[in-house]
């Protein structure tokens, strides 16, 4: 799996966390740097951990679905991307109503923004042998974008939030289509 594709997948997955970070930065008027750092660590850690779990589950499934793996990857990434795009059009955001500086809220937000990464992990076990490298990149990209998102949220608020999340969904769908086309053309 090429480095650019891994980075694009990481950015696509990080868009949920980035959007929540923007929302969190905008609702916490006095967001302390330690809270922004903690949020980025939670989001980055969960985004790295979930695909690792998914890939371990997917490794056991790989031999059973090897003939259809490109369709599975396409379907999973397309479904996840579609879900992210659909979710970007919600009118009421959970981070707007809750204090993201609290650990319990941060845990819930971290799990909610990384569920998609679990399904992507199943796909990763199918399309790459270097899952550890991929999950590290996903975690680092999410950390950086989340940290930047909190600062951006403090400055611009909610204006770009849903557009950024929708772009992440589109990116995942495009990666799924790319995987499908590459596999079908190689036959």
How do residues 104-146 score in pLDDT, each as one tens digit? 888 888 887 887 788 788 777 777 778 889 999 999 999 999 9
**Contact predicate 13/47, CB 8 Å:** yes
What distance in Å separates the CA atoms of residue 175 and residue 173, rounded to the nearest whole number? 5
Question: How many structural domains does the chain have?
Answer: 1
**Domain extent at residue 64:** 3-186
Per the prediction, the chain carries an average pLDDT of 79
- Phi, psi (rounded to 5 degrees) for 147: -65, -45
What distance in Å separates the CA atoms of residue 58 and residue 126, rounded to the nearest whole number? 7
- The pLDDT, as a whole number, for residue 79 is 81
pTM: 0.70
On the question of pLDDT at 175 being above 90, the answer is no
Q: Average pLDDT for residues 147-160, to the nearest whole number? A: 77
On the question of pLDDT at 156 being above 80, the answer is no
Angle between helices 3-27 and 131-156 (to 10 degrees): 30
Pair of tokens at residue 60: 């056991």
**Contact predicate 124/175, CB 8 Å:** no
Q: Average pLDDT for residues 83-90, to the nearest whole number? A: 74
On the question of pLDDT at 157 being above 80, the answer is no
């Amino acid at each position: 799996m090429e480095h650019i594709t891994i980075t694009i997948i990481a950015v696509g997955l990080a868009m949920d966390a980035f959007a929540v970070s923007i929302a969190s930065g905008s609702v916490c008027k006095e967001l302390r740097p330690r809270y922004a750092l903690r949020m980025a660590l939670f989001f980055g850690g969960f985004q790295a951990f979930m695909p690792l779990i998914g890939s371990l589950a997917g490794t056991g499934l790989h031999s059973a679905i090897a003939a259809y793996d490109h369709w599975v990857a396409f379907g999973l990434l397309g479904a996840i991307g579609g879900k992210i795009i659909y979710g970007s059009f919600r009118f009421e955001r959970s981070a707007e109503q809750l204090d993201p500086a609290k650990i319990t809220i941060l845990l819930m937000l971290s799990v909610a923004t990384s569920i998609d990464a679990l399904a992507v992990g199943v796909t990763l076990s199918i399309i790459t042998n270097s899952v550890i490298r991929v999950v590290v990149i996903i975690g680092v990209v999410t950390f950086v974008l989340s940290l930047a998102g909190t600062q951006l949220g403090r400055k611009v608020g909610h204006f770009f939030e849903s557009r950024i999340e929708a772009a992440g969904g589109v990116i995942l769908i495009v990666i799924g289509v790319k995987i499908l086309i590459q596999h079908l053309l190689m036959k």
